[in-house]
Chain A
């Protein structure tokens, strides 16, 4: 939590009727411009929050398709790093922020289009059409 985030008082917390929920950005397909160190930091923090794979291009030219699950930030880019899994390796990997040249939000956002309203709409349509055993099913893993 950063210092500039607005904080609730306990009185506000206790009086909450509905939780405000989080604002989710549409990041799929986005390729951020990385003009400064701060741009890179912000892009990598979004990659950490993203619910899909990203493609990292390293300064060496290597391209890595990765699901970023951890970021540890330090005072310099060299002391900050991401942890990620790749699709074809069971081992956790690590890369320094300083080695990253480009970030692409290349993978599908796995939560997109799965809002509660979408389910209610789909349910009502199928029910009206007389369908039985209405369900959402998990996506295939292949």
Chain B
């Protein structure tokens, strides 16, 4: 695991304190969306479909600090929109660092190189750069030729300046596992601390609704990608969550573990679904009907979700809150996950070329057998 010991210590003591206090619902990561404005127009994005007057609005630094002070999470992820378009993002980041919060600033990196001199390297600050795969895959995914090269330039400059940097990839139906594994080689070669990855989620408000992976296909894809790991690959995620993606573990969604806060308030029930907003984290906890969400609830909106905002928090709590989970986590850090079946999956034909990078027509049944 690529996560520094100080961060693991902070999170593990936080989880243990909550457990000892008998606290059943608490946040691990605040998903802080200071704005929805973006400098990309990705066709699959479900986050930025708003009228201009909404895209021009943004949280003030004080609103950001009030949100983290109220919920008390030890980590803050700053997605968006593109956070580097926020004119006060440096002030927001510095205020969070002053509070000793571990920050993942999620960026497409189009502005990263230009804005880096405004930031100071810190163990609390990580630039999590959105890269959806190798050059051609990433550019097609974000609907911008040349986007990959700009992002890589930003990554290299950030690494050179001593910042913590991870890459952050989302994979949709049609992703080629061999290309993803080659992509892991490429990004580790750039000197990043680790890789973050996720299956795509079927945002109800996304313009496109045809290419989201179901659970069986997620498990098969991630088993092909994450088995037989190379020693150079590091993941900035819980090993238990990666095992969940591979189909080796079951977790129940705990959306309150990674609550989302934006200009609208505290999002119900999670970062992905928009079923209303609460004025405070307390109100979010008290008024959301949690039993109606998560795959186990049977809610069709949650059926395909295996995303970190619902399922990484239980993996982290399992890893730091139980002895069995802790030993599994340690073992996961050193395992190569050797798997002959997964090797055979890599030999299956995969789509190639920009026009077929994603599957937009009939489902491909070539991977019919599930390994989970």
- Chain A proximity mask over B45-86: 1 for CB below 8 Å, otherwise 0: 000111111111100000000000000000000000000000
Q: Within the complex, which residue of A1, A18, A86, A110 is in contact with B292, where a contact is CB–CB below 8 Å?
A: A1
In the complex, which residues 270-323 of chain B have their Cβ closer than 8 Å to any Cβ of chain A?
276-277, 289, 292-293, 295-301, 303-304
Which stretch in A27-35, A36-44, A68-76, A95-103 binds the other chain? Answer: A68-76
Q: Does B41 sit at the interface, judged by CB under 8 A? A: yes
**Which residue of A has the minimal Cβ distance to B292?**
A1
* Residue numbers in B under 8 Å from A120 (CB-CB): 355, 360
- A9, B215: Cα distance in complex, Å: 13
- Chain A proximity mask over B210-225: 1 for CB below 8 Å, otherwise 0: 1111111100000000
- A59, B250: Cα distance in complex, Å: 52
Residue pair B277, A69 in contact (C-beta under 8 Å): yes
Residue pair A110, B300 in contact (C-beta under 8 Å): no
Q: Does B186 sit at the interface, judged by CB under 8 A? A: no
- A29, B56: Cα distance in complex, Å: 24
B295 to chain A, nearest CB (A): 5
Q: Within the complex, which residue of B44, B52, B355, B363 is in contact with A18, where a contact is CB–CB below 8 Å?
A: B363
**Which residue of B has the minimal Cβ distance to A108?**
B51
- A140, B277: Cα distance in complex, Å: 27
Interface centre among B143, B276, B292 (most CB of A within 10 A): B143
Interface centre among A10, A19, A20, A118 (most CB of B within 10 A): A19
**Which residue of B has the minimal Cβ distance to A134?**
B145
B179 to chain A, nearest CB (A): 18
Residue pair A137, B276 in contact (C-beta under 8 Å): no
Residue pair A9, B298 in contact (C-beta under 8 Å): yes
- A61, B349: Cα distance in complex, Å: 63
B59 to chain A, nearest CB (A): 11
- A113, B41: Cα distance in complex, Å: 12
Residue pair B303, A8 in contact (C-beta under 8 Å): yes
- Chain B proximity mask over A40-71: 1 for CB below 8 Å, otherwise 0: 00000000010111000000000000010111
B90 to chain A, nearest CB (A): 22
Q: Does A111 sit at the interface, judged by CB under 8 A? A: yes
Which stretch in B97-105, B188-196, B200-208 binds the other chain? Answer: B200-208
Residue pair B144, A1 in contact (C-beta under 8 Å): no
Q: Does B350 sit at the interface, judged by CB under 8 A? A: no
Q: Does A15 sit at the interface, judged by CB under 8 A? A: yes
Q: Does B328 sit at the interface, judged by CB under 8 A? A: no
A85 to chain B, nearest CB (A): 6
Q: Does B16 sit at the interface, judged by CB under 8 A? A: no
> When A90-B57, A136-B143 are in contact, do A19 and B298 touch as well, CB less than 8 Å?
no
> When A1-B292, A14-B216, A70-B277 are in contact, do A141 and B303 touch as well, CB less than 8 Å?
no
Residue pair B204, A22 in contact (C-beta under 8 Å): yes
* Residue numbers in A under 8 Å from B358 (CB-CB): 116
Q: How large is the interface on A (under 10, 10 to 19, 20 to 34, 35 or more residues)?
A: 35 or more
Residue pair B38, A7 in contact (C-beta under 8 Å): no
Residue pair A115, B146 in contact (C-beta under 8 Å): no
- A109, B263: Cα distance in complex, Å: 20
- A134, B360: Cα distance in complex, Å: 20
Residue pair A136, B49 in contact (C-beta under 8 Å): no
Residue pair B145, A133 in contact (C-beta under 8 Å): yes
> When A18-B212, A133-B146 are in contact, do A107 and B51 touch as well, CB less than 8 Å?
yes
* Residue numbers in B under 8 Å from A137 (CB-CB): 41
Residue pair A17, B265 in contact (C-beta under 8 Å): no
**Which residue of A has the minimal Cβ distance to B300?**
A8
Residue pair B296, A10 in contact (C-beta under 8 Å): yes
- A123, B41: Cα distance in complex, Å: 14
Residue pair B145, A135 in contact (C-beta under 8 Å): yes
> When A110-B51, A114-B43, A116-B44 are in contact, do A16 and B264 touch as well, CB less than 8 Å?
no
* Residue numbers in B under 8 Å from A112 (CB-CB): 207
- A44, B354: Cα distance in complex, Å: 41
Residue pair B144, A111 in contact (C-beta under 8 Å): no
Residue pair B300, A138 in contact (C-beta under 8 Å): no
**Which residue of A has the minimal Cβ distance to B365?**
A17
Residue pair A17, B363 in contact (C-beta under 8 Å): yes
* Residue numbers in B under 8 Å from A130 (CB-CB): none
Residue pair A111, B207 in contact (C-beta under 8 Å): yes
Known: A19-B304, A90-B57, A114-B207. 4 other contacts (CB 8 A): A13-B303, A15-B216, A67-B53, A141-B56
Give me the 7 closest cross-chain CB pairs, A-B, nearest first.
A21-B209, A16-B214, A7-B298, A19-B304, A114-B207, A19-B212, A135-B144
Chain B residues in the interface with A (C-beta under 8 A): 37-44, 48-57, 140, 143-147, 173, 202, 204-217, 263-265, 276-277, 289, 292-293, 295-301, 303-304, 354-355, 358, 360, 363, 365, 370, 372
